[in-house]
Amino acid sequence: MKKNDDILYRPWPELKRLRDEKLHHFVTRRLYPFSPYYRKLFDENKINPADIRTAEDLRRLPFTSKQDFRDAIQRDPAKGTLAFCLQPDKDTIKKFLPKAELAKFLLLRTLRGEAGFKAALEKEYKPVFLTSTAGTTSTPMPFLYSDYDMENLKVYGARMIATMGIKNERMVNMFPYAPHLAFWLAVMGGLASNVFVLSTGGGKTLGTEGNIRSILKMKPQFLLGVPSYVYHVLKTARAENQDFSFLNRIILGASPVPKGFKLKIASLLNEMGASDVKVFGTYGFTEARGAWAECPTEISVSSGYHTSPDMEVFEVIDPVTGEAKGEGEDGELVYTGIDARGTCVLRYRTGDLVKGGITYAPCPHCGKTVPRISSDLTRASNIKNVQLSKIKGSLVNLNDLERFLDDRPEISEWQIEIRKKNDDPFDVDELRLNVCLAKDVNKDNFTHLLNEEVLGNYEVSFNAVHYVTHQEISGLIEVESAVKAKKIVDKRPQ
């Protein structure tokens, strides 16, 4: 299956019509007939699938959330994961498909016979692969792919590679070997784009020195990985006085990438001889089985994440009321896939809060006319209720603290711990900061100034600041072994 990527430059009104046509076709001829979960949802809410003709019509539907997946698995541990998969058979095809679509299936059955008909269905719909959520906040959940979805994964990867301007260069993929979306997108994108990709498996497989040796031997122009581990590898290579002048494109995924962190990466590469450094953020989540990239800009500027309107619909909603927000307005991202076969989701609440929302204006940097998501993204789950007094709790937005710490040039790496005072489950909460400094500064003065600024901006302060070495902080955040570095850990009794 191939996609016509020329459509990504067509005028937005034309792209919008295409998106709505694909949405209507998907809901009426794939999702409602073949998805046990969504057919039940439509019927229980008395919604006619034929009435879903535009993205705005999706607002008639309830949202889907992570909890819906957990509930389905809890109700039926053996088949709960499959409830969201498309499952066509002779009965559902005959009962639910429109007559014109039914005729196509009957013709296929006539031409190929019963065995050929079954083989064709399995080729398109049978789950053959999975990726899984990382399980950092809850039990990992698998999301299934058919052969059709695997081709789509190649399309997503190829489009990201094209968006970032990769052509005949070499890439080193340092995402961990795992059923992890970012790793497989890099692999599939390279295959689809005829780009050479060396996958090292990250620190858990080759270790940091093994990754550095691989980079020096291959001399790639592009390096991909989790932000904390890429930074760790580059910092280690810099300490060894390695020459990385051949490397000037860094692609980061699986975590937010603030501007200050991009500048730190660029500074390290500049010190190792690189010039014209570009650092790209990417955005993706397991439930979408796809991801999106920024196009090349100055490090201090983000183009936003370039989406694929022929494959998905994005909405921005008020995270409290669920009401739709307008272009460029802040809110929570909601995702609907319109070209899927395995695990399918409609109006999926991502839990990702976007400042600046979505814009539909052509990209001023690359000219693509697709919707672009602002790169100012944070996780709602990182807004914690912290009992800072014995009277009441405070909602602490750890996303803001994370960006603040990443942007500080004096800080190399850090970790926030949320604990109970004196480890007493009935006492107040405390915020502790483990920090490795990038510069030789007066630690007493730095602690005072840091807490003064944190208190002024975020109305909290760190109860303790512990200064640690680069090796110690690497162990604390598990940069060598974890899929995502453990930058914020809640050590309070559950």
Instruction: Give the dihedral sign, CA 255/256/261/265.
Output: positive
**Which residue type occupies 88?**
P
State the pLDDT at residue 451: 86
Q: Name the β-bridge partners of 250.
A: 223, 279
**Which residue type occupies 385?**
N
Q: Does pLDDT of 64 surpass 90?
A: yes
Separation CA 190–CA 184 (nearest Å): 10
Average pLDDT value for the chain: 88
Residue scoring higher pLDDT (81 or 435): 435
Question: Hey, what are 235's tokens?
Answer: 């910092």
- Nearest one of 123, 251, 149 to 195, comparing CA atoms: 251
Separation CA 149–CA 340 (nearest Å): 6
- Nearest one of 402, 65, 405 to 256, comparing CA atoms: 402
Q: Does pLDDT of 460 surpass 70?
A: yes
Q: Does pLDDT of 216 surpass 80?
A: yes
> Number of C-alpha atoms within 13 angstroms, CB side, residue 289?
29
CB 234, CB 479: distance < 8 Å: no
Separation CA 431–CA 421 (nearest Å): 9
Q: Hey, what domains does the chain have and what are their CATH numbers? A: 382-490 (3.30.300.30)
State the pLDDT at residue 104: 82
Question: Hey, what are 82's tokens?
Answer: 């499959």
State the pLDDT at residue 138: 60
Residue 334 — pLDDT band, cuts 50, 70, 90?
very high
Range 395-408 average pLDDT: 78
Range 34-41 average pLDDT: 94
State the pLDDT at residue 390: 41
Residue scoring higher pLDDT (178 or 289): 289
Q: Name the β-bridge partners of 293.
A: 282, 306
Q: Does pLDDT of 137 surpass 60?
A: no
Which of 35-39, 369-373, 470-474 comes out lowest in average pLDDT? 470-474
Question: How many residues are recorded in the chain?
Answer: 494
State the pLDDT at residue 217: 95
Q: Does pLDDT of 314 surpass 50?
A: yes
CB 313, CB 23: distance < 8 Å: yes
Quick: pLDDT tens for 139-162. Answer: 778 899 999 999 999 999 999 999
Quick: pLDDT tens for 427-459. Answer: 778 888 999 888 778 888 888 888 888 888 777
Quick: pLDDT tens for 244-285. Answer: 999 999 999 888 788 888 998 999 999 999 999 999 999 999
CB 436, CB 465: distance < 8 Å: no
Question: 49-57: long-range contacts at Cβ-Cβ below 8 A with a sequence spacing of 24 or more?
Answer: 52/23, 52/24, 52/27, 52/28, 53/20, 53/23, 53/24, 54/20, 54/23, 54/24, 55/16, 55/19, 55/20, 55/23, 55/313, 55/315, 55/336
Is residue 293 within a helix (H) or strand (E), and if so which, with residue range? strand 290-293
| Residue 252 backbone phi and psi in degrees, to 5 | -115, 140
State the pLDDT at residue 379: 75
